[in-house]
Structure 1
Amino acid sequence: MSKGYSLASGDPKPFEIDTTQPDGALSASGGDMGRFMIAHLQNGAFGASRILEEATAVRMHTTAWEFLPPLNRMLLGFYENNLNGHRVITHGGDLQWFHSELNLFIDDGVGVFVSLNSLGKDGAAEQIRTGFFREFSDRYFPAPLPEGSVDLETAAAHAHLIAGRYISSRRSHESFLAALNLLGQTRVLATENGSISVPDLKGLNGEPKRWREIAPLVWRNIGGPDRIAAKIEKDRVICIGYDELPFMPFQPVPWWSSAAWLLPLLAVAGAALVGNTLAWPATALVRRHYGVRPDLTRPEARAHRLVRIASLLATLMVIAWVVLIQLLSGDLGWIGPHMNPWISSLRLFTVVIVFTTSAIALWNLWKMLRSRRKWLAKIWSVLLAISFLTLFYVAVVFHLLGYSAKY
């Protein structure tokens, strides 16, 4: 078996064991994958043996969930990857190091299997296996690209209708990993000529693909055969689909969890809390050097001190969440029961921190607004209160609060 790599120039990584449920994983040699493909291409037969009844194999290859015609559909254990007028059934698999894809031209007796032992620079593994499949298909099963058009006015209206932010339906929804949804939103942009652009969908040249409407609410990649389609109900987008990901429709992001406003607000909140934390020792050193005492009443001084302690605790909480999510999403070895005590502790810590620090920030704001401090100090108190409440909001919306380690 090949070893997996993070970088081609680096050391090989340990054998990957996928413990995630319910999918699991399977390791097989290239020769075994060839035999597996032959068995499916012969509807369950291999040599003199039969591993599947013919009717069972045919049902696996043809039973489809058609959620967004005319795009490719989900099958039983496979999904469609039809190309150049030929029926293709596919299954892909991605671990941390290995990235594989099986394509069967089920009516033509042809199978293609590609497995890469590294993600490559900028996720090149996905482009390599997709590009190889496309080039193989164009060489041995050539066909013209699907054509069609709509009038420019309709194209422009439809482009503006589906423009916005979307999130994959294949996501964590009710666990703390929902926080990843804030970073994983896909944008659809309307262009001046009535076409659309999706920055996350890039071609082999690394540039975003451009999409032209070839039928009502169906767009084709200007440089290839892949398509995007949208489902509309009552003049609202219900979902959009992408030919290469029939197992993963994209749904509109609700305004209350949109990264368009939440990420900038989080950035400002983080900067304010870190700045307030660092200002604590900095101002103390400056006052000590010049022998200046703070001109604060006792209640104001207490509020001032508590809000800086709150800033420190909130900053540590954010750092802890960033580290935890980075570990879980970056290395499968961190996923497992051994992490449960840490997850539960952090979620409980977050409950205490967001409630307590928000209360302190509001109390500090009330004290500052009633005091004779300068307006700059009062504005800073408002900014701090907004920053703490932002963390409170994010913790509630993305399920960071609680005790359960389930994810």
Structure 2
Amino acid sequence: MSPSTDISRRTVLKGAGAAAAGAVAGRPAGAQSDPDSPDPDGLETFVDGLMAEGLAEHDVAGATVAVVGGGETLLAKGYGRADVENDEPVDAEETLFRIGSVSKLFGWTGVMQGVERGEFDLDTDVNEYLEDVTIPGAYSEPVTLDHLGTHTPGFEERYRGTFVEDPEDLRPLGETLAGEQPTRVRPPGELAAYSNYGAALAGHIVAEQAGTSFGGYVQANVFEPLGMDHSTFAQPVPEGVGEVSKGYRYQDGEFVEGEFEYVGIAPAGSMSATATDMARFMRAHLAGGELKGTRILEAGTVEAMHRRRFAHDERVDGICYGFYEMSHGGERAIGHGGDTELFHSQLLLAPEQDLGLFVSYNSPGGTQAREEFIGAFLDRYLGEPDPPAVADGVTRGEALTGSYRAIRYPHTTYEKIGALGGAMEVRIDDDALVTELPGAGVERWIEVEPLVFRREDGGDTLVFEEDDGEITHLFLGSVPVMAFERLAWYEATTAQLAVVGLSLLVFLSAVVGWSALGLWHRMRDRPPGPERPRIARWTAGLASALFVGFAVGLGTLVAVDPNAILFEAPPALLGLLALPVLGVVATLGTLACCVLAWHDGDWGVLSRLHYTLVALTCVVFLAVLRYWNLLGFRL
């Protein structure tokens, strides 16, 4: 759920992060070597070696893999353990894995089935198909199924409702979509911002039209026709479907079993499936919608689904219908990734090579293991990317440097705080452009034409967008479902944290300093000073204490349980959000006292200067809180 950071579950089910795995995008011009044609024996030996290395190096308990080609399943195999305590191995035919956002492909397939039946038109306002959910008309253009399938409806991100802690908290899909609706923050079709809500909304439309649940629709129209007997959207996995792999964290030298992860909007990522079932789905898509005489889509519909429908720039990979492009070594590929906190998956199709790959891991280390596995697999079977030319400087380097934030974040609620620290930093180093993204490391880029860069190893492309001479956005080939917006200097993480840190120091100087001064006067039996300055200090001290208390309380909540902030609104958070509101009142009083202090001149100059600093800091701190939607109760 989306470019990854370490805040728990913050970007799970994102798919976009999986798109970046393994340097699998960018449209390089050529290849260093001819790709191999997979033969079953050589393929198994190759995959066995990669898996053994990946599981050991990245502390992964188990994984499952399927490779298809030529209308057949070339390899389906499990690796490691599905149940560590009972030493149960992963079985590709029997062990279900949580596939995260790869689940979305089944909803998009359902939409295209409805298009074939004449029930849907991709360019019609989705409100025409909805009964219990209404998308507000915020812009002149309505949101359509085409926008949902290309992640361009213009929704902000919404964390709450995506995951729930307990199965009793699962609500009907329509109820969750109506209750946790994100705000429309940009015109549809303008920019891509990966949207779990949009995918779930499309799945809900499919289910409503069919008069059944989403899971029931997929069961009847995809699973049963393709013989996917070990797949389900139900949570937890019902008896008779198969045994689902447990998810594990690696802690203190051993695997620790995690809880079953409940997805609150099922079409976005609740599916569990075996590798062999995923092989059937891939074979059907590669064969124009047909598997062993049974058809789930017409060939023309599959072609339309696999065709590029949106791209931020023609020089980087784009988005198909549900799938996104993952080109490598000069060859086009499409696919979708999926991440929960514990499971990390990827489905990839190379239609021109009639080749498909599915892989899933049951531990957080699978994020890196997946990247390395897919990169090696694509190098071998699609060809290695051609390295770019030697660096020869960066034109307009100063204009490009700065912070760029993925536009997929909550714009209007307190959840926006989850975007803090997630910006990509861009700088110039010698003759290359350097990017640093939390969770993705540092990359060097070589300019190949104005505002277009190739990664130093040739595996990705980066393009800057310009408007009236100003750089506004950055697009990565490896993340076609995401645009990055350039931030103003004051929006950068370093600037925001610096302002907060300095503000807290000023507030502490008021609370501690004035308290110490009052204590000193009492110890010396000195009479209290004039009443007006004492009232002024009490007012500013109250404002300072409220802001310090809020910062400490919020930091504690995040440290103890990030999910409490991002996926629900606990009572403690509601109480904390009351403190800045009280702080507004105290700040107004502080400002009034500040004006009187300078007008009447009954304080010393240094005292008035310090008090003015406190008053102005209150205003600045409130501006920061307002920026992060922490001033009020916007839940």
Q: TM-score range, shorter-chain basis?
A: 0.7 to 0.9
2:247 aligned with 1:4: yes
**Cα 1:114–1:296 shift into 2, 3 Å:** farther
What are the Cα deviations for residues 66-114 of structure 1, in whole angstroms up to 9, with x where unaligned?
Answer: 2212111011111111000221112112222222222222222322333
Task: Tell me the equivalent position of 1:361.
Answer: 590
What does 1:222-237 correspond to in 2, within 5 Å?
Answer: 222-237=456-471
Gaps of 5+ in 2: 1-243
What are the Cα deviations for residues 318-357 of structure 1, in whole angstroms up to 9, with x where unaligned?
Answer: 33444556678x3389725xx376666654x256223213
Please give the secondary structure, in 2, of the residue aligned with 1:188.
strand
Task: Tell me the equivalent position of 1:307.
Answer: 540
Counterpart among 548, 561, 567 of residue 335 in structure 1: 567
Rounded to whole Å, the distance in 1 between the matches of 2:414 and 2:560 is 14
Task: Tell me the equivalent position of 1:384.
Answer: 614
Structure 2 residue identity aligned to 1:171: Y
**Cα 1:26–1:284 shift into 2, 3 Å:** farther
What are the Cα deviations for residues 207-234 of structure 1, in whole angstroms up to 9, with x where unaligned?
Answer: x111101233221111241111112232
Task: Tell me the equivalent position of 1:140.
Answer: 381
Structure 1 residue identity aligned to 2:563: D
Tell me, yes or no, if the aligned pair for 2:326 and 2:332 is still in contact at 8 Å. Answer: yes
Tell me, yes or no, if the aligned pair for 2:388 and 2:457 is still in contact at 8 Å. Answer: no
Tell me, yes or no, if the aligned pair for 1:362 and 1:385 is still in contact at 8 Å. Answer: yes
Q: Choose between structure 1 and 2: higher helix proportion.
A: 1
Please give the secondary structure, in 1, of the residue aligned with 2:263.
coil
Root-mean-square deviation (CA, aligned residues, Å) is 3.1
What does 1:56-95 correspond to in 2, within 5 Å?
Answer: 56-95=301-340
**Cα 1:304–1:293 shift into 2, 3 Å:** farther
Rounded to whole Å, the distance in 2 between the matches of 1:333 and 1:278 is 30
**Cα 1:326–1:94 shift into 2, 3 Å:** farther
Rounded to whole Å, the distance in 1 between the matches of 2:610 and 2:249 is 45
Task: Tell me the equivalent position of 2:550.
Answer: 317
Using the TM superposition, name which of 314-323 and 12-21 deviates more: 314-323
Rounded to whole Å, the distance in 1 between the matches of 2:274 and 2:266 is 23
What are the Cα deviations for residues 284-314 of structure 1, in whole angstroms up to 9, with x where unaligned?
Answer: 55555x4344652111112112222222112
Rounded to whole Å, the distance in 1 between the matches of 2:259 and 2:346 is 22
Question: TM-score, structure 2 length as denominator?
Answer: 0.55
How far residue 388 of structure 1 moved from its aligned partner, in angstroms, is 0.9
2:342 aligned with 1:109: no
Tell me, yes or no, if the aligned pair for 2:310 and 2:319 is still in contact at 8 Å. Answer: yes
Rounded to whole Å, the distance in 1 between the matches of 2:283 and 2:386 is 29
Using the aligned pairs only, state the percent identity. Answer: 26
How far residue 281 of structure 1 moved from its aligned partner, in angstroms, is 5.4
**Cα 1:402–1:295 shift into 2, 3 Å:** closer
Rounded to whole Å, the distance in 1 between the matches of 2:296 and 2:623 is 54
Rounded to whole Å, the distance in 1 between the matches of 2:438 and 2:591 is 44
How far residue 65 of structure 1 moved from its aligned partner, in angstroms, is 0.6
Tell me, yes or no, if the aligned pair for 2:587 and 2:618 is still in contact at 8 Å. Answer: yes
Task: Tell me the equivalent position of 1:199.
Answer: 436
Tell me, yes or no, if the aligned pair for 1:4 and 1:117 is still in contact at 8 Å. Answer: yes
Rounded to whole Å, the distance in 1 between the matches of 2:326 and 2:615 is 51
Rounded to whole Å, the distance in 2 between the matches of 1:216 and 1:47 is 50
Task: Tell me the equivalent position of 1:51.
Answer: 296
Rounded to whole Å, the distance in 2 between the matches of 1:182 and 1:287 is 43
2:404 aligned with 1:166: yes
Question: TM-score, structure 1 length as denominator?
Answer: 0.84
Rounded to whole Å, the distance in 2 between the matches of 1:224 and 1:127 is 20
Rounded to whole Å, the distance in 1 between the matches of 2:409 and 2:628 is 12
How far residue 33 of structure 1 moved from its aligned partner, in angstroms, is 2.4
Where relative contact order (Cα < 8 A, 6+ residues apart) is larger, the structure is 2
Rounded to whole Å, the distance in 1 between the matches of 2:343 and 2:325 is 22
**Cα 1:360–1:5 shift into 2, 3 Å:** farther
Task: Tell me the equivalent position of 2:79.
Answer: none
Task: Tell me the equivalent position of 2:226.
Answer: none
Rounded to whole Å, the distance in 1 between the matches of 2:527 and 2:401 is 53
- Equivalent pairs, count: 389
Tell me, yes or no, if the aligned pair for 2:346 and 2:358 is still in contact at 8 Å. Answer: yes
Tell me, yes or no, if the aligned pair for 1:221 and 1:227 is still in contact at 8 Å. Answer: yes
Please give the secondary structure, in 1, of the residue aligned with 2:262.
coil
Please give the secondary structure, in 1, of the residue aligned with 2:345.
strand
Tell me, yes or no, if the aligned pair for 1:202 and 1:209 is still in contact at 8 Å. Answer: no
Task: Tell me the equivalent position of 2:499.
Answer: 265
How far residue 17 of structure 1 moved from its aligned partner, in angstroms, is 0.8
2:611 aligned with 1:395: no
Structure 1 residue identity aligned to 2:535: R
Tell me, yes or no, if the aligned pair for 2:334 and 2:350 is still in contact at 8 Å. Answer: yes
Rounded to whole Å, the distance in 2 between the matches of 1:2 and 1:274 is 51
2:412 aligned with 1:183: no
Rounded to whole Å, the distance in 2 between the matches of 1:73 and 1:295 is 71
